[in-house]
Amino acid sequence: MAELHLHLPAESEPCAYLPGLHATTEYRFMTEVTAAEMEHLLERGWRRFGAAYFRPVCMQCMECVSLRIPVRGFALTKSQRRAWRKCQGLRVVTRAPVADHERLNLYRAWHAMREKTRGWQPNDLTLEQYHRAYCVPHPCARELDYYDGDRLVAVGLVDETPTAVSSVYFYYHPDITDLSLGVASVLFEVEWARQRGREHVYLGYRIAGCPSTAYKSQFGPHELLTERPGIGERANWFSSE
Other CB atoms within a 10 A radius of the CB of residue 96 amount to: 10
240 is a domain residue? no
- Grade residue 203 by pLDDT with cuts at 50, 70 and 90: very high
Domain of 180? 70-200
CA-closest candidate to residue 28, choices 3, 53, 58, 57: 53
Is residue 47 classed exposed, middle or buried when 0-12, 13-18 and 19+ CB atoms within 10 A define those classes?
Answer: buried
Average pLDDT on 5-23 reads 85
162 is a domain residue? yes
79 is a domain residue? yes
pLDDT attached to residue 42: 98
Average pLDDT on 9-20 reads 83
- End-to-end CA distance of the chain: give it in Å, rounded: 37
126 is a domain residue? yes
* Domain count within the chain: 1
Is residue 122 classed exposed, middle or buried when 0-12, 13-18 and 19+ CB atoms within 10 A define those classes?
Answer: exposed
What digits encode the pLDDT tens for the residues 25-52? Answer: 999 999 999 999 999 999 999 999 999 9
In the predicted structure, residue 1 carries a pLDDT above the cut 90: no
What digits encode the pLDDT tens for the residues 46-86? Answer: 999 999 999 999 988 889 999 999 999 999 999 999 999 99
141: CATH? 3.40.630.30
- What is the percent of the chain with per-residue pLDDT over 70, rounded to a whole number? 100
189 is a domain residue? yes
17 is a domain residue? no
Whether pTM > 0.85 for this model: the answer is yes
What digits encode the pLDDT tens for the residues 121-148? Answer: 888 899 999 999 999 999 999 999 999 9
In the predicted structure, residue 177 carries a pLDDT above the cut 80: yes
113 is a domain residue? yes
Q: Which secondary structure element, helix H or strand E, spans residue 39, and what is its range? A: helix 35-43
Beta strand extents in 37-120 (DSSP E only): 47-49, 52-56, 65-70, 91-95
pLDDT attached to residue 123: 85
